[in-house]
Amino acid sequence: MKARVTVTLKSGILDPQGKAIEGALRSLGLAGVSSVRQGKVFDIEIEGGDRAKAEALLKQAADKLLANTVIENYKVDVLG
Amino acid sequence: MKAAVLVFPGINRERDMARTLRLISGRAPAMVWHADTELPHGTDLVVIPGGFSYGDYLRCGAIAARSPIMDAVRAYAGKGGLVLGVCNGFQILCEAALLPGVLMRNENLRFICRDVYLRVERSDTPFTRGYNAGQVVRVPVAHGEGNYIADGETIARLEGEGRVLFRYSSPDGMIDPNWNHNGAINAIAGIVNERGNVLGMMPHPENHVEAAIGPTDGRGLFAGLVDQLAKAA
């Protein structure tokens, strides 16, 4: 089964990299972007077809490693 | 002193650390590989040195913090054993939840490699007994992610409990944004855990211990630990 875990910074956490990207977009002449925050995407292949088990496994993976829950949120999407 | 220096793939400051420990304690430390599951018998100081463990992949120190040896370090720290984490070592301790908070990208996004001044906030700890409270020391930093961040509650607790041991300062000990190269909250450069036996710091005291090379302000940290452990023995 294919799954995707998206990790993003919690709101309120400063993101200087996001700010730098914002500035770069502006200097490219792309007006109208008011803010950018950078996150991470993990594309994961899970063995077997049990959806609930896959979600539980991915939540564990996110809690234990993929996200630093001090500063990051995560979203788990099992794509089937 | 019976020190153990942890080595993870990508760590590159273990030899500087081992040299300093040998010079100041008179005894070469054990070099412990990350895949080991036990610390050497009788270890009384665990040091996690600097570098780029696992290439800083995922997050700095994230993968190293989940290495087999860290379970042994956790148990050892749980019994009050002294742990010193420097730079990547500080990041690893935060990722391992042995210290609160997180080290994020330097505010100006640059890797900063130069000497900084640190104010030693208190001298009544095993790590700082070799200094005077309020003393300013000069030590090098070399990091891209040294910006210490934690939520308001954690910062209040750290400050309230006197757990900030080192702060970035001016040469005469003033806390000032111009002397905080990475933007760390409250200019925090080094903190201890609740029990006071685990210290994480971004600067490299181990690189300022030999007069032939430069300042020797880093000596006090290690000499103080040797003293502390000799007393306890």
Look at residue B180 and tell me whether its pLDDT is greater than 90: yes
Look at residue B233 and tell me whether its pLDDT is greater than 80: no
Closest residue in chain A to residue B91, using alpha carbons only: A68
Per-residue pLDDT reduced to its tens digit, B46-69: 999 999 999 999 999 999 999 999
Per-residue model confidence (pLDDT) at position A65: 97
Would you call B104 an interface residue with chain A, using a CB distance cutoff of 8 Å?
yes
Per-residue model confidence (pLDDT) at position B135: 98
B211, containing H or E segment? none
Angle in degrees, CA B172, B166, B149, rounded to 5 = 120
In this prediction, residue B42 has a pLDDT band, given cuts at 50, 70 and 90, of very high
Q: What CATH number was assigned to the domain covering residues A2-78?
A: 3.30.1280.10
Per-residue pLDDT reduced to its tens digit, B65-101: 999 999 999 999 999 999 999 999 999 999 999 999 9
Contacts of B40 (CB under 8 A, 6+ apart): B2, B4, B30, B32
Terminal Cα-to-Cα distance of chain B (whole angstroms): 9
* Mean pLDDT over each residue of chain B, to the nearest integer: 97
The residue type at B131? Y
Per-residue model confidence (pLDDT) at position B232: 80
CA B50 to chain centre: 9
In this prediction, residue B22 has a pLDDT band, given cuts at 50, 70 and 90, of very high
d(CA B6, CA B89): 9
Per-residue model confidence (pLDDT) at position A14: 87
Look at residue A80 and tell me whether its pLDDT is greater than 80: no
Quick one: average pLDDT of A42-67? 96
Would you call B112 an interface residue with chain A, using a CB distance cutoff of 8 Å?
no
* Mean pLDDT over each residue of chain A, to the nearest integer: 95
d(CA B126, CA A21): 43
Could you give the ipTM of this predicted complex? 0.87
Please give the structure tokens belonging to residue A80. 């089937």
Domains defined for chain B, CATH in brackets: 3-232 (3.40.50.880)
Per-residue model confidence (pLDDT) at position B9: 97
Q: Interface of chain A against chain B, CB under 8 Å? A: 13-14, 16-17, 20, 64-66, 68, 70-71
Q: What percent of chain B has pLDDT over 90?
A: 98
Q: Which of A16 and A56 is assigned the larger pLDDT?
A: A56
- Interstrand relation of A2-9 and A40-45 (parallel, antiparallel or unpaired): antiparallel
Q: Is B206 a catalytic residue?
A: yes
The residue type at B200? G
Per-residue pLDDT reduced to its tens digit, A24-54: 999 999 999 999 999 999 999 999 999 999 9
Per-residue pLDDT reduced to its tens digit, B204-226: 999 999 999 899 999 999 999 99
DSSP B131-192: S-TT-EEEEEEEES--EEE--HHHHHHHHHTT-EEEEEE-TTS---GGG-TT--GGGEEEEE
Residue A54 burial by Cβ neighbours in a 10 Å radius (0-12, 13-18, 19+): buried
The residue type at B6? L
